[in-house]
């Protein structure tokens, strides 16, 4: 008698467990920001329908409402309504993030905006008679953020705590990366982009990792004393920032926005992300007692 394959049930169980792990931290954020389950469900339905419509069509055939309903398990009426509904976007926050991040990265890597030691120097807001040949904050914004008024970029960087300007003095960079210290909308924009990128990388590796893997690694130990965390945070922050700045400098040389003369075809978005994590394991059950 032929034994029935159990691979599909195992995949389903693994997927269910993985989704539960993903949704726990997501739901902490959702509940903290007072979003109801109904509102979350509407977003999930919309995403389900859009993915089914855009990525799971039959080659050579136009995707139909009926097929989307079949794939998603939703009614044809629900599918039609969701396809016609306006998408939930926050393009303003995304644009602020992209432009501000480019300005900060340029400030860190471009020698014209650094001191003799190679560190980002304090910048005068505009040209003045005392240093007419020295690059200013206005020059920095013009080079790395296009035609956006430099005062608008300054206001944004001050608002999220990345730069400091005292009175009529120069603008000083407080952090070497654009990580908003305030402004929930900006932090939630990062949630949307960074988590999506990580999940997309894992999806790529699930499908094509054997032949064309994307880099996806982490280092983790689960029996570390609390006392070493502060030192590891400092060590990982410093080394990760150094690596990212080195990769940023290389990648910027091939980006058409910062180097319009760059040759080549197509338009690709690429990068690498690093994140720190920690979890209190004291209340966890020992591994050998978990079922």
Decide if 15 is inside a domain.
yes
Decide if 278 is inside a domain.
no
49 and 36 housed in the same domain: yes
* DSSP secondary structure code for residue 217 in this structure: -
81 and 106 housed in the same domain: no
* pLDDT one digit per residue (tens) for the chain, 291 residues: 445 545 567 888 999 999 999 999 999 999 988 889 998 998 999 999 999 999 998 888 889 999 999 999 999 999 999 888 877 665 566 666 778 888 988 898 888 898 888 889 999 988 875 666 788 999 999 888 877 889 888 988 888 788 998 788 899 998 887 776 655 676 787 788 889 999 999 999 999 888 999 999 999 999 999 999 999 999 999 999 999 989 988 988 898 887 788 889 999 999 999 999 999 998 665 544 444
Decide if 163 is inside a domain.
yes
- pLDDT attached to residue 290: 47
Q: Tokens 């893997």, residue? A: 213
Q: Which domain holds residue 119?
A: 91-173
79 and 102 housed in the same domain: no
Decide if 69 is inside a domain.
yes
Decide if 237 is inside a domain.
no
49 and 77 housed in the same domain: yes
- pLDDT attached to residue 74: 92
Decide if 268 is inside a domain.
no
Integer Cα distance of 201 and 195 in angstroms: 10
83 and 97 housed in the same domain: no
Nearest to 154 by CA among 277, 75, 169: 169
- pLDDT attached to residue 183: 56
Nearest to 249 by CA among 47, 85, 107: 107
- pLDDT attached to residue 109: 84
103 and 166 housed in the same domain: yes
CB neighbourhood size of 213 (10 A)? 11
Look at residues 60, 88, 116 and tell me which one is the last residue of a structural domain: 88
Please provide the distance, in angstroms rounded to a whole number, between the alpha carbons at the two ends of the chain: 31
143 and 131 housed in the same domain: yes
16 and 48 housed in the same domain: yes
99 and 52 housed in the same domain: no
Look at residues 32, 55, 88 and tell me which one is the last residue of a structural domain: 88
- pLDDT attached to residue 131: 62
Integer Cα distance of 181 and 260 in angstroms: 32
Number of domains in the chain: 2
81 and 95 housed in the same domain: no
- pLDDT attached to residue 19: 92
Per DSSP bridges, beta strands 163-165 and 171-173 are antiparallel
Look at residues 173, 208, 236 and tell me which one is the last residue of a structural domain: 173
84 and 95 housed in the same domain: no
Decide if 70 is inside a domain.
yes
Q: Which long-range contacts (CB under 8 A, 24 or more apart) does 50-54 make?
A: 50/82, 50/87, 53/83
44 and 58 housed in the same domain: yes
Integer Cα distance of 262 and 224 in angstroms: 47
- pLDDT attached to residue 203: 93
């Amino acid at each position: 008698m032929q034994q029935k394959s159990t691979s599909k049930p195992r995949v389903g169980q693994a997927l269910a467990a993985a989704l539960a792990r993903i949704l726990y931290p997501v739901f902490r954020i959702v509940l903290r920001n007072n979003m109801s389950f109904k509102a979350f469900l509407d977003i999930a339905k919309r995403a389900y329908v859009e993915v089914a419509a855009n990525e799971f069509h039959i080659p050579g055939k136009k995707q139909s409402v009926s097929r989307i309903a079949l794939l998603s398990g939703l009614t044809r009426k629900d599918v039609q309504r969701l396809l016609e509904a306006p998408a939930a976007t926050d393009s303003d926050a995304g644009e602020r993030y992209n432009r501000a991040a480019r300005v900060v990265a340029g400030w860190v890597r471009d020698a014209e905006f650094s001191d003799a030691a190679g560190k980002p120097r304090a910048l005068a807001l505009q040209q003045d008679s005392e240093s007419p040949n020295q690059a200013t904050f206005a020059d920095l914004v013009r080079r790395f953020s296009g035609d956006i008024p430099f005062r608008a970029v300054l206001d944004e960087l001050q608002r999220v705590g990345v730069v400091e300007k005292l009175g009529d003095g120069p603008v000083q960079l407080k952090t070497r990366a654009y990580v908003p210290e305030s402004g929930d909308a900006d932090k939630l924009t990062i949630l949307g982009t960074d988590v999506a990128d990580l999940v997309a990388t894992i999806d790529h590796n699930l499908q094509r990792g054997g032949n064309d893997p994307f880099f996806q690694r982490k280092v983790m130990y689960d029996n570390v004393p609390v006392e070493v965390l502060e030192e590891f945070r400092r060590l990982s922050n410093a080394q990760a920032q150094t690596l990212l700045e080195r990769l940023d400098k290389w990648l910027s040389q091939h980006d058409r926005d910062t180097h319009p003369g760059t040759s080549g075809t197509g338009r690709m978005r690429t990068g690498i992300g690093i994140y720190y994590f920690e979890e209190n394991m004291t209340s966890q059950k020992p591994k050998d007692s978990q079922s």
